[in-house]
A and B are shown apart, each in its own frame.
Chain A
Amino acid sequence: MFDKYLIDPATVRNTGPADAPTGFAFEAKLGYYRGLTLSMIEELAVTLDGTELPRDALQFDEGAGPIALDAMETAYDRRWAFGTPATILVSHPGGLGTGEHKLGLRQKLRVSYLPFPAFNTDEKTVSAA
Chain B
Amino acid sequence: MSKIQRGVSLYSFQEELFLGRMSVEDCVAFASSIGANGIEILPEQNMPEFPNVTDADVARWQDMLARHGAHFTCYDMFLDTKLRKDSLLSDDEQVDSIVRDIKLASRLGIRNMRVLVFVRPDILARCVPFAEQYDVHLGVEVHAPWHLEHAWILRTIEEADRLGTRHLGILPDMGIFMKHYPPAFRARFERQGARPEVAQFIVDQHEAKIMCEYTIYEVAVKMGGNKAEVAMAETLRHAPFANPKRIGDYAPYFRHIQAKFYEMNEDCTDPAIAYDEVIPELVKCGWEGTLSSEYEGNRWIQDVHEVDSREQVRRQHVMFERLISQAEAKYGAKETV
Contact = CB atoms under 8 A, between A and B. Distances in A.
Nearest to B44: A34
Contacts of A42: 85
Most buried by A among B42, B82, B117: B82
B45 A35 contact: yes
Main secondary structure of the interface of A (DSSP, over half): loop
A35 B44 contact: yes
B327 to A, nearest CB: 32
A92 B116 CA distance: 42
B302 A4 contact: yes
B81 A82 contact: no
A29 B17 CA distance: 12
Interface of B: 11, 14, 17-20, 42, 44-46, 48, 50, 78-85, 116-118, 298-299, 302-303
Given A4-B302, A34-B42, A113-B117, A83 B80 contact: no
Interface of A: 1-2, 4-5, 29, 33-35, 37, 39-40, 42, 73-74, 76, 79, 81-84, 110-113
A113 B118 contact: yes
B21 to A, nearest CB: 10
A34 B82 contact: no
B80 A37 contact: yes
What are the 8 tightest A-B residue pairs by CB atom distance, in nearest-first order?
A: A34-B44, A34-B45, A83-B18, A1-B299, A112-B81, A81-B48, A112-B82, A113-B118
Nearest to B50: A35
B83 A37 contact: yes
B27 to A, nearest CB: 13
Nearest to B17: A83
